[in-house]
Amino acid sequence: MENLCSNVYVFDKFFGRAITPPDDSNQSDHEVNYIDNYFKYAATQPELADFADWLNEFQQTAKFKDGEKKFIALQKQLDTTSDFEARGYLIKAKNQLESLFKVEKQED
């Protein structure tokens, strides 16, 4: 989810799916161009096969699908809201959503 929150197109690029921006904003264009030009990982790379299988399965879970819908809705609201108080609430909600998916690193 952290990667999705950084750029909503990264998983589509990784799995070789068409990247279709949800709107005509400059932000969407910038994110698509960045992914196209700089993200060089693909599910078809043999060394990423296990990860690709895991990620594909994770994307099918209700937890991920619900989180993805909520994140995209929050981001769309942030893109169109200029009210300071409303933006603060939306950012807090977005951060809380991201924290639900964070995996704590274990020390060796």
- What sign does the dihedral 62-59-20-35 (CA atoms) show? positive
Tell me if 47 is assigned to some domain: yes
Q: Is the pLDDT of residue 25 over 60?
A: no
Lowest-pLDDT range of 1-10, 13-22, 25-34, 89-98: 1-10
Q: How many folded domains does the chain comprise? A: 1
Tell me if 57 is assigned to some domain: yes
Tell me if 24 is assigned to some domain: yes
pLDDT in tens, 35-63: 888 889 999 999 999 999 999 999 999 98
Range of the domain at 23: 2-99
Tell me if 48 is assigned to some domain: yes
pLDDT in tens, 73-98: 898 898 899 999 999 999 999 888 88
Tell me if 108 is assigned to some domain: no
Tell me if 32 is assigned to some domain: yes
The whole-model pTM stands at 0.70
Rounded Cα–Cα distance for residues 84 and 37 (Å): 34
Establish how many alpha carbons lie within 13 A of residue 53's alpha carbon, considering only the half-sphere containing its beta carbon: 4
Tell me if 105 is assigned to some domain: no
Tell me if 106 is assigned to some domain: no
